[in-house]
Structure 1
Amino acid sequence: MKPTGLLIGILGFTLWAALMLVLAYPHDWVTLANAPVVLILVSSIYSLLLPLSLSLALSALAVLMFNYQMVPPVHTFHVDLHEHGILLITMMGVSWLITYLLRRQKQIAALERQQAQRTLQLMQWSEKLREFDNPQQLLSDLHQLLLGLAEGSTQVLVGFTSSELESLNATQIKAFDACLQENKALGKSTGRYDNLEDLYLPMRGKSKAYGVCVCVGGDIDFNEALWVRDAQALLDQMGLACDRRDNALRAQSARESAQTQKTRSLFLTSIAHDQRTPLASIMTSASAILEQTDRLSKDEIRHYAELIQEETQQVARLTDNTLTLARLSGEQVQVPTQLESVEDIVAAVLQRLRKRKAVYLPTVKVAAGLPLLNCNMVLVEQVLDNLIDNAIKHSGAPCSVELNVLQQQGDVVFQVSDRGVGMQGQHKLQGDESRGMGIGLQLCHAVAQVHAGCLSFSTPAIAGQGVLAIFTLPLAEAQEQGA
């Protein structure tokens, strides 16, 4: 017995003992007329403190004591039925009736308090489930709540699969899996597999069960136990939370799939857009040579051949960009890097432009004393080649394209500027694909990303002032500190 219950029991016995002393040693104010009222009043108080059967027995003893001490002839249990019989019977009946009603009312009040507490518990559990992205992490909390509802009267096991509960035997595992598959309670007093000794309650979602609670044996009457209903409510909350999470994951997967499909479509569109122009030029030049060989001079044939060679080189560059971008598009891509000189990178880019016989070369300014870059030299060269080639195509005049390389805090900044047609405002940060950047632009952004750098574009407000492309890479020291 709990200490609080023991103290309440002692208090009840004390009140009954005080009543017995009053009846045993009556005073002038305790008479045959008012003693029954005192007896009923005191018995109604200690009946709230003591168990029902004990209260009824003590009330009967109190009535007997009243008969022995105060009903003539006193100090005997003889009763004159015509004069005092109805009084004693009425006292006994009223005392027992009040005792029963008060005890019943106390039980109802206790049950109501318990239900209010469980309702609050269910609301708090529902709020807790909404706060967690993955409700399955709260399985141990659910187990503790179910144990609290059972109040130690039965063993409670809960899991998402039968393999999680190692203490289950072969029969219990089959029942567990049947409950999980059918999404219905089964076992004792459920009307389904009543021959089972245990009760199985599912975590019911809208379309399936996500787990099962196993109430192992015990003496509890599952038909009348309100905690079974409350336990099912807690399990249903968990099942619905798991259902919501599954729906959210499916919706996220659908969005990612749609975004992937959109990206793939844009990627293919960019490839077609960038390759259409050089292929059309190649086809036109080749057709002119084949169909008009007799009418073309050697210089004209040479011109068409050089044009075919130039456009073929452009297609080759686009193919290289496409392959590189595809390689950089995977998840958690890591490219080999090493310390490289900025001067060597710029020199390699200029050499590539000379081999390609570019229309003209950019004006280059490299700040003195630049530290080494920890980068993939081939990829960085490809970015600068794309930016410079695009600027040359749209600059409009020789010596109007500039490449400036400088250091700003912990970064090395490559600035490529031209004086051609600018960009619309919405393209200043991402670049203008209409200027022929398509795949090349996506490649530049991908290379900047794998190097923890950035790429941006800006243009003056006045049209025709060109575009400034800024390609920023962190220095080796900054990368080591970030790591």
Structure 2
Amino acid sequence: MMKLNPISTGALGFFLWAAMMLLIKYPQGWLSLSSTPVLLILVSSIYSLLMPLGWSLALSALAVLMFNYEMVPPVHTFHVDLHEHGILLITVMGVSWLITYLLRRQKQIAEREHVLARRTLQLMRWSEQLREVDNPHTLLPVLHDLIAGLVGGLGVNQLAIALGYHALEYPPTFKVNSTQQEGFGACLQDNKPLGCGTGRYENLDDLYLPMRAKSGAYGVCLFVGKRDDFLDAVWIQDVQALLDQMGLACERHESARRAQQARELAQNQATRSLFLTSIAHDQRTPLASIMTSASALLEQGERLTKDEIRHYAELIQAESQQVSRLTDNTLTLARLSGEQVQVPMRDESVEDMVASVLQRLRQRKQKHLPKVQVEQDLPLVLCNMVLVEQVLDNLIDNALQHSGAPGSVELNVVQGQGEVCFQVSDLGKGMPLAQIQPGDQSRGLGIGLQLCRAVAQVHSGRLHFSAGLEKGTTAVFCLPIAVHNR
């Protein structure tokens, strides 16, 4: 719908008044002395909505005088018979002015209500936008445009508006002098408006409004203009409402950020405690075996046979290797748990990694080796070969310890949807899935399990278990296929 400007509406109102004057000047047969006042009041009520109040009252008075001159006997004179026509003219004049005033007043009230409704809608939309955004600091340009549109819509177009949190930063082209920097700091610290028209630092020519919150100001809005723009300005309250919403949103964001930091700190503390517990748990068993065997050799060495001495020596060697693997796992996990971890990766052959793991098992003189089945024509995987072999070594070693019988551990390597999966299965007694969640040591993994999960995360892969009470346990470790090999 096209909205007319004040000049167009004024011209339309004057045209209606002029048309009514022509009807009075050249009345038709249906226009009489009794019907003309009704028409005059009707037309005056219409153009009073289109023209300023002063103009409407003046034109209404001229219309009554024209009616007196053209139609009230004696015609073409301004002589009035007070007993016969005086009351009529006074009544027409009074009713015309009263209707003009009431209609103009009602129009002003309607316009003010419309402005208030528009401002309320703006506040609602702004509040919704603040709730939806993750970081309200990114909405500084939006707030600037919203304030500029609000102030400009009220006829104030000569203001320079700048906003900022720790300093005036938007728009970037805004130049800040030393006085404005000091005013910004004072407003931010006091969390109160200051400058012209605020009762605080009235000597300043500019106006400073804070982004208020319960804990203090999170930013400041600076208005640079003439002092008359700020004295008794009705838009200041609306702008302050927008800024307060921004301040409260920043406070909520800061509270959420601190709460998240507290949760992460608590989680890190719990992880560190679990980490230390896992180290102590995993190393306690092999160290106890080493100490027992060493004590037997020292205290009963003269009475032991060569086979018994060899047995204790092999036990010490095996448990020492276990401690060495646990130490390697601990150091690797500590490195992967650091911030901004960057692990070098390259395309590796699955067959080469499996062969390397089996070779290490043979070097450790493992009694039982797993049955291995690798699918043919497997693509290369983008990974860190050392870490992946460490994962496979942990999973196979754990399965061998709990398999219950020789030849009951299997390593199957298959290709899935966009990934290669290493499946390590054993025929041990099995366990409920709840017992093999992260951090559980019931199968002796401890640090090893945490390391496996960390390596899977670093490679954007996955690690999961399937277990039953009688069907053993299967660990599935999957790595994504290199993109150019898919």
TM value normalised by structure 2: 0.85
Match status 1:203 vs 2:203? no
Tell me the equivalent position of 1:394. 402
Tell me the equivalent position of 2:285. 277
Match status 1:159 vs 2:167? no
Tell me the equivalent position of 2:368. 360
**Helix, strand or coil at the partner of 2:476:** strand
Any idea what the Cα deviations from partners look like across 1:220-261, whole Å, max 9, x if unmatched?
A: 664544322222222222222222222222222222222222
The answer (yes or no) to whether the contact 2:439–2:450 under 8 Å persists in 1 is no
Tell me the equivalent position of 1:415. 423
Q: Distance in 2 between matches of 1:90 and 1:368?
A: 108
Q: Distance in 2 between matches of 1:363 and 1:449?
A: 27
Tell me the equivalent position of 1:144. 145
The answer (yes or no) to whether the contact 2:64–2:92 under 8 Å persists in 1 is yes
Tell me the equivalent position of 1:112. 113
Amino acid aligned to 1:264: R
The answer (yes or no) to whether the contact 2:433–2:465 under 8 Å persists in 1 is no
Q: Distance in 2 between matches of 1:407 and 1:35?
A: 98
Closer, same or farther in 2 for the Cα pair 1:79/1:344, shift >3 Å? closer
Residues 11-410 of structure 1 aligned to structure 2 (within 5 Å): 11-26=12-27, 35-71=36-72, 73-78=74-79, 88-150=89-151, 151=153, 152-154=155-157, 155-160=159-164, 161-165=167-171, 166-218=174-226, 222=230, 224-292=232-300, 299-331=307-339, 333-366=341-374, 373-407=381-415
The answer (yes or no) to whether the contact 1:430–1:456 under 8 Å persists in 2 is no
Q: Distance in 2 between matches of 1:54 and 1:190?
A: 36
| Structure 2 counterpart of 1:470, from 460, 463, 476 | 476
Q: Distance in 2 between matches of 1:92 and 1:342?
A: 103
Q: Distance in 2 between matches of 1:266 and 1:412?
A: 31
Which range moves more in the overlay, 147-156 or 359-368?
Answer: 359-368
Tell me how far 1:55 sits from its aligned partner.
1.6
The answer (yes or no) to whether the contact 2:432–2:469 under 8 Å persists in 1 is no
Amino acid aligned to 1:157: I
Any idea what the Cα deviations from partners look like across 1:53-105, whole Å, max 9, x if unmatched?
A: 21222222223333434455543345566776665555444433332222222
Q: Distance in 1 between matches of 2:184 and 2:35?
A: 65
Match status 1:425 vs 2:426? no
TM value normalised by structure 1: 0.86
Amino acid aligned to 1:472: C
The answer (yes or no) to whether the contact 2:379–2:485 under 8 Å persists in 1 is no
Q: Distance in 2 between matches of 1:163 and 1:411?
A: 48
The answer (yes or no) to whether the contact 1:403–1:414 under 8 Å persists in 2 is yes
Residues 442-481 of structure 1 aligned to structure 2 (within 5 Å): 442-459=450-467, 461=468, 463=470, 465-475=471-481, 478-480=482-484
Amino acid aligned to 1:42: V
Amino acid aligned to 2:476: I
Closer, same or farther in 2 for the Cα pair 1:83/1:223, shift >3 Å? farther
The answer (yes or no) to whether the contact 2:214–2:248 under 8 Å persists in 1 is yes
Task: Quote the sequence identity (%).
Answer: 68
Tell me how far 1:341 sits from its aligned partner.
4.5
What RMSD in Å do the two structures reach over aligned CA positions? 3.2
Closer, same or farther in 2 for the Cα pair 1:426/1:215, shift >3 Å? same
**Helix, strand or coil at the partner of 2:17:** helix
Any idea what the Cα deviations from partners look like across 1:330-384, whole Å, max 9, x if unmatched?
A: 3554433445454443443333223323233334444555555554332233222
Tell me how far 1:289 sits from its aligned partner.
3.9
Q: Distance in 2 between matches of 1:57 and 1:402?
A: 105
Closer, same or farther in 2 for the Cα pair 1:102/1:303, shift >3 Å? same
Any idea what the Cα deviations from partners look like across 1:202-227, whole Å, max 9, x if unmatched?
A: 22222222222223324766454432
Q: Distance in 2 between matches of 1:107 and 1:372?
A: 77
Any idea what the Cα deviations from partners look like across 1:93-133, whole Å, max 9, x if unmatched?
A: 44333322222221111111221222122222222222222
The answer (yes or no) to whether the contact 1:186–1:194 under 8 Å persists in 2 is yes
Closer, same or farther in 2 for the Cα pair 1:223/1:385, shift >3 Å? same
Q: Distance in 2 between matches of 1:38 and 1:346?
A: 104
Closer, same or farther in 2 for the Cα pair 1:50/1:140, shift >3 Å? same
**Helix, strand or coil at the partner of 2:447:** helix
Tell me how far 1:295 sits from its aligned partner.
5.4
**Helix, strand or coil at the partner of 2:205:** coil
Closer, same or farther in 2 for the Cα pair 1:215/1:376, shift >3 Å? closer
Which range moves more in the overlay, 374-383 or 111-120?
Answer: 374-383
Q: Distance in 2 between matches of 1:173 and 1:244?
A: 27
Tell me how far 1:318 sits from its aligned partner.
0.3
The answer (yes or no) to whether the contact 1:153–1:219 under 8 Å persists in 2 is no
Structure 2 unaligned residues grouped into runs of 5+: none
Q: Distance in 1 between matches of 2:358 and 2:485?
A: 32
Which range moves more in the overlay, 363-372 or 381-390?
Answer: 363-372
The answer (yes or no) to whether the contact 1:156–1:213 under 8 Å persists in 2 is no
Q: Distance in 2 between matches of 1:134 and 1:214?
A: 22
